[in-house]
Structure 1
């Protein structure tokens, strides 16, 4: 398989090192950010979900209108829109984007965040609900006849969606590292998404999820997320990483950030924190400096070095069977342009060379 590169777009310029500026919903920035990914050679971009931010369906629709080949991965949390309605919304958006949509299902790893939208289920209940949600969603997306469904969280009678996705099958990505999450992914997901762990941890996750999917007679793909920090020399890249850390630390201090107290709830965040506690530099060039600052709260581990070194590190994960990589920078828009100049084409060349060598 060839390697797939995903990016991530936001609705205004902001990052760990860049204070947010301009309107919260910046139409021009969304358009420029999406176009930059398309021009840089990215395959797909993630549109995130937060309890206090602009609606991802509309952000995706606007970004898609500015691009022609770039695909989209829309984050969606079950529980706030019924699965029958969610299916119609997703199918409509896939038609609008000419079949360029996938959905990333996030059950929610933080109780306080969920409660902001009125969700008071606990973690186990959220995954049970997600299982129900995806069972109904899949049927609405594919069924040519009305159907009934009677689950723990959702019951429908004679449900039917006249609008179907343009694609024959809308791809479902799924995130979460707990046993409950892996069980849901094994039953429903096309791609399992994990944060940038050290190689040993990533290999363990791949084995565990593959085995779980196999018990349901299914195969599953994998995506992993990193924050590459690239420079002309290795020394310059590490100096850049230190600048990013100190700038982010100061920005967090000024914002009153709690630096990981209380401890993160999600298993994924706990795994990143465990990696950070092993050391700042792991494997070849995996850096946990920002992950430590934010208590593993999101995809925050970096690969540091020259484009050639970072490319080699990505290939180590590719060799584990992870054929989809999500990368985003600390200078979001400018880093996309830089990744497109060397990192993406170089990595694709190396993957192609390996495929030729293996088939010889």
Structure 2
């Protein structure tokens, strides 16, 4: 049994990968052709982007996804607040909230999360992100160095679990100080959310091996993923833990492989060739790893296919990680099955636009997997 999540775009959406321009959501000016709000009779209607996110959630739920990832960026709504709204409109769908522990006190986070667990009958999941440095990290006012950020995340998770109860907790740590912290009985009785933890550096692997339920990675060439997972397993064995494994993957699947590649060619035609060689900003080891797998010379869309069906150009067509899967429905399902053979226990999938692709991927790809998908 594999858990498959779908990404819920928190900052608007593109109509396709052919043009990198958002037309869905209220984060960009509303104009003819926009959705949520839509331009009607010369002015925007009153439909909000939150309603569109709910449409995506319902599409994903009906298509067989167990839950949805709510990403967090400086330019998005807060995922905890958004989850509170969406939880009330659903009954079984899980919400994976992305957040950076550096900006929350362990007890305050426990009170927020346990309240959501009570509200949503235990359907909250964590995507713990430590931050990739660079301008985005400084936007938050965070000047902590790379390895120290992971040490802070580890201390946060240890303290966060400790205060999730009714016994008073004292902590005088390197990053956090608590005195007599505890939850009220009704909140303490709620289940602690499953933790998906990402990071590729030695510091990240050390923290993940100790504290995560699922070690989460962006998609990479499969041999590189295998080596990274083996490093996590090796460190976890020393610590006496047994994390599961998950991969975040963009998917472009069509009835024929040629249709899928034609879609990428159409989008790739608008990419500035000078951008293809640009190294990622910040000190993210994962982003640097992804860039290192790409060829030095790129003349055609297929030059970024590092192995069958694994394409490294998605970051040039939309925001997010570089690698995803491309092909016909059977080919993409087969590549997902190959990842399951690496020991993957969960996927976080995505496609543009999120609404239509939730139906397509759920109905045409998930149904072709060789193992059952938890609904």
- Give your verdict on TM over 0.5: yes
Listed as ranges, the matches of 1:78-157 within 5 Å are 78-141=101-164, 143-157=165-179
User: Who is 1:356 aligned against?
Assistant: none
User: Are 1:7 and 2:9 counterparts?
Assistant: no
| Aligned residue among 23, 26, 29 for 1:23 | 26
User: Are 1:284 and 2:308 counterparts?
Assistant: yes
SS in 1 for 2:179: strand
Residues 11-37 of structure 1: CA deviation (Å, up to 9, x unaligned): 453246452234236121121111111
CA contact (8 A) 1:34 1:66 kept: no
Q: How far 1:352 sits from its partner (Å)?
A: 4.8
The total of aligned residue pairs comes to 342
Distance in 1 (alpha carbons) for counterparts of 2:11 and 2:144: 31
Residues 35-85 of structure 1: CA deviation (Å, up to 9, x unaligned): 111111101111011123211111111222222211111001012221110
SS in 2 for 1:227: strand
Distance in 1 (alpha carbons) for counterparts of 2:150 and 2:319: 19
Q: Runs of 5+ in structure 1 lacking a partner?
A: 354-360
User: Who is 2:183 aligned against?
Assistant: 161
SS in 1 for 2:293: helix
User: Who is 1:185 aligned against?
Assistant: 208
Task: Name whichever structure is richer in helix by fraction.
Answer: 1
Residues 235-292 of structure 1: CA deviation (Å, up to 9, x unaligned): 2221122223334x26x99xxx79735655211111111122385113321111224x
Q: How far 1:297 sits from its partner (Å)?
A: 7.6
| Aligned residue among 262, 283, 288 for 1:265 | 283
338 and 104 in structure 1: CA distance in 2 versus 1, 3 angstrom threshold: same
User: Are 1:65 and 2:88 counterparts?
Assistant: yes
Q: How far 1:214 sits from its partner (Å)?
A: 1.4
Distance in 2 (alpha carbons) for counterparts of 1:242 and 1:66: 38
Q: Which has the higher contact order (CA 8 A, sep 6+)?
A: 2
User: Who is 2:55 aligned against?
Assistant: 32
User: Are 1:219 and 2:221 counterparts?
Assistant: no
Runs of 4 or more consecutive aligned structure 1 residues displaced over 6 Å after TM superposition: none
SS in 2 for 1:228: strand
Moved more, 180-189 or 55-64: 55-64
Q: How far 1:318 sits from its partner (Å)?
A: 0.4
Moved more, 48-57 or 186-195: 48-57
Distance in 2 (alpha carbons) for counterparts of 1:258 and 1:228: 20
CA contact (8 A) 2:10 2:71 kept: no
Residues 319-349 of structure 1: CA deviation (Å, up to 9, x unaligned): 01012111111222111111122111211xx
Q: Runs of 5+ in structure 2 lacking a partner?
A: 28-47, 297-302
Q: Taking structure 1 as the reference length, what is the TM-score of the superposition?
A: 0.88
Q: How far 1:114 sits from its partner (Å)?
A: 1.8
Q: How far 1:212 sits from its partner (Å)?
A: 1.1
